Structure 1
Amino acid sequence: MFNNETSLEVNDYLDLYILARNLGDNDWQQDMITRLQRHISNRSLILHTLWREYKKVDEEIHELYSQLPKQASSKELKEKILNLKKRKFDISNKIQMEERRSAKDANS
């Protein structure tokens, strides 16, 4: 699932950048800057996508809740809501994990 580039953390890129600078390897320095920018951009994209999915699930839940008064005995509708709530919870956990990673990287 992960390739070598995505498994590196911000600190790893910074360490490699410093090593390249100390060795006087300008091409390697530039490569590390590019990879670091891509890494940060990918992390932002992941968070954006997760938030969009979270909001979509939330809207679906609200839509189903609005149907409940019309179909108060609908077991199927209640199951859909429960499944969406579980999905929303999973997405929320992924968002928190990514935000913690981003905060950790920012504090490094």
Structure 2
Amino acid sequence: MNERIQLDVNDYLDLYLFVKKTGDTIWQEEIIAKLKNKSNEESLQHSIDIDTLWKKLKEINEEIGIIYKQLQSDYSNTELQGMLLNLKQQRILLHQQIHYAKRNLF
């Protein structure tokens, strides 16, 4: 079987310390390169995640705008008010997720 093993940062650091003791500088450089690539990949993934959250936030804001327009003509519509409340709650959660993702990116 040709199974690919996924190493996390701690595994690479442990391996680096072991390799350093052996004096294999080429292997050390390879490990450092892997860690740099891993860091770049994670940054890119966070960036994509933030973009997705912003797109979702934009969609929710558009939906809220549509519901507000509908409520102008029928403010007593409890179904629309419930949908509006739900969208506002989703918007709050998205703002929190964006803030958290930005904080972890930088």
TM-score range, shorter chain: 0.7 to 0.9
Aligned residue pair count:
91
Q: Structure 2 unaligned runs (5+)?
A: 1-5
Which of 43, 48, 73 is the equivalent residue of 1:70?
A: 73
1:90 aligns with 2:87: no
Separation in 1 of the partners of 2:7 and 2:47?
19
Separation in 2 of the partners of 1:27 and 1:84?
48
Separation in 2 of the partners of 1:70 and 1:39?
48
Aligned residue number for residue 61 of structure 2:
58
Q: Structure 1 unaligned runs (5+)?
A: 104-108
- Work out the percentage of aligned pairs sharing the same amino acid: 23
Query: Cα distance, 1:88 vs. partner?
Result: 0.2
**Scaled by the length of structure 2, what TM-score is found?**
0.74
1:36 aligns with 2:51: no
**Scaled by the length of structure 1, what TM-score is found?**
0.73
Pair member with larger Rg: 2
Q: For the aligned residues, what is the CA RMSD?
A: 2.3
Separation in 2 of the partners of 1:29 and 1:95?
30
